[in-house]
Copies of this chain bind each other. A is one copy, B any other.
Amino acid sequence: MKRIYLDYAATTPTHSDVFAAMEPYFGEKFGNPSSIHSFGRETRSAVEKAREQVAALISAKPEEIVFTSGGTESNNFALNGIAEINKTKGNHLITSRIEHPAVLEPCQHLEKQGFVVTYLPVDKDGLINSDDVKKAITDKTILVSIMMANNEIGVIEPIEEINRVIKDKLEKQGQKIYFHVDAVQAFGAIPIDVNKLGMDLLSCSGHKLYGPKGVGALYIRKGTRIAAFMRGGHQEKNRRASTENVPGLVGFGKACELALRELDSRVEHLTGLRDKLIKGLLDKIPETQLNGHPTRRLPNNVNVSVRYIEGESMLLNLDMEGIAASTGSACTSGTLDPSHVLLAIGLPHEIAHGSVRFTLGRLTTQEDIDHVLDVFPKIVEKLRAMSPLYKKGGK
């Protein structure tokens, strides 16, 4: 059976060019970049090249990029590092209810240490209102952390507007508030220019854009003071100790180079497929709704709620047909609550439990979409037939 992967938001396959770039750095060019001998020098320059490639994708300077082990570390680093340095200035943080757990959990942990966190609501499309950010700011606010694009419903947040609100505070009242953006899903998927958008910190992760797993970066605008997250050696200018994951960083750099080159064509390709899938699902399956803003969303994200049936049982059926997707249902997460994101956009629990996310990628074809549109309605029918909530002939 041909397998169709539609879970690119969870992770992506490493691009063959990326793998080819990494390969020599395992067995052949393996030196520790901190070593002064020839083995170290050749990997040092490879790491610095990767730093330039990552920086270029977001129009940053190479020295503004600190490598990490992934998006989670970048987020933990940003939040803890800014909070620690600025705790004498204030103890208030602002974030949103739809952030990734890698932002929410560090926030909750900071709350235990005496910080106060405001979790902003979103509208039914998943959008944060920059006015809400404005209203939430107090003279104790030191950090705002808002994601660029949501991992579940793909909605793209108004980062530039939010930044304006924050910078206003600096210009008018002289209050410096740091702005962190979790761009793990947006990075390489839509254009990002840190100078135009104005954030102070930005998180990204290699495995979401056809790079390897286990590497990421934190963009730290020049002049931003931040406490180190991992302490030890002098790597990353004392901002992130540990022997560099050289092949990983080389691969991450290459993935960024490819993303920059192919960005427009990827967006075009994916947007077409995305809209075809959305339309097909809503047309073919009654009582189905799209979650997240219909157009201000990632080019590859389709998230639908299918009434009367539950997400995991849809996923398992899709998997039996070789189709890999994801769900915001509680059943995959080890808790009984469905996705906090779907609840935040106002879905009732039973509808939130019945949602499926298809995320498309470079290798997704028209035929793949056609196949899903052929198979999925049958699965829905089968599951609805055994659902006590579903009364035939509409309810």
A76 and chain B: residue at smallest CB distance: B230
Asked if A101 and B35 sit within 8 Å, CB to CB, the answer is: no
| Contact-residue bracket for chain A | 35 or more
Cβ of A323: which chain B residues have Cβ within 8 Å of it?
37
Asked if B245 and A69 sit within 8 Å, CB to CB, the answer is: yes
User: What's the Cα separation between A11 and B332 when bound, in Å?
Assistant: 39
A22 and chain B: residue at smallest CB distance: B26
Asked if A69 and B214 sit within 8 Å, CB to CB, the answer is: yes
Cβ of A14: which chain B residues have Cβ within 8 Å of it?
26-27, 30
Segment with Cβ contacts to B, from A121-129, A186-194, A311-319, A375-383: A311-319
Asked if B212 and A39 sit within 8 Å, CB to CB, the answer is: no
Asked if A10 and B30 sit within 8 Å, CB to CB, the answer is: no
Chain A, 189-229, contact with B by CB distance < 8 Å: what is the 0/1 string? Answer: 00000000000000001010000111100000000000000
Residue in B3, B37, B71, B242 whose beta carbon sits within 8 Å of that of A73 in the complex: B242
A205 and chain B: residue at smallest CB distance: B243
Asked if B69 and A242 sit within 8 Å, CB to CB, the answer is: yes
User: What's the Cα separation between A194 and B369 when bound, in Å?
Assistant: 52
Segment with Cβ contacts to B, from A54-62, A102-110, A153-161: A102-110
Chain A, 28-41, contact with B by CB distance < 8 Å: what is the 0/1 string? Answer: 10111011111110
Asked if B3 and A39 sit within 8 Å, CB to CB, the answer is: yes
Give, as a whole number of angstroms, the nearest-CB distance from A4 to chain B: 10
Chain A, 92-116, contact with B by CB distance < 8 Å: what is the 0/1 string? Answer: 0000000011110110110000000
User: What's the Cα separation between A69 and B206 when bound, in Å?
Assistant: 14
A70 and chain B: residue at smallest CB distance: B242
Asked if A308 is an interface residue, CB under 8 A from chain B, the answer is no
User: What's the Cα separation between A301 and B38 when bound, in Å?
Assistant: 20
Give, as a whole number of angstroms, the nearest-CB distance from A354 to chain B: 16
Asked if A232 and B5 sit within 8 Å, CB to CB, the answer is: no
Asked if B241 and A3 sit within 8 Å, CB to CB, the answer is: no
Asked if A213 and B245 sit within 8 Å, CB to CB, the answer is: yes
Q: Quick one: given A13-B27, A245-B213, are A231 and B106 in contact (CB under 8 Å)?
A: yes
Asked if B231 and A105 sit within 8 Å, CB to CB, the answer is: yes
Asked if A234 is an interface residue, CB under 8 A from chain B, the answer is yes
A241 and chain B: residue at smallest CB distance: B72
Residue in B16, B34, B36 whose beta carbon sits within 8 Å of that of A315 in the complex: B36
Give, as a whole number of angstroms, the nearest-CB distance from A73 to chain B: 6
| A-B residue pairs in contact (CB < 8 Å), sample of 7 | A13-B28, A16-B27, A35-B326, A37-B315, A101-B241, A213-B243, A214-B245
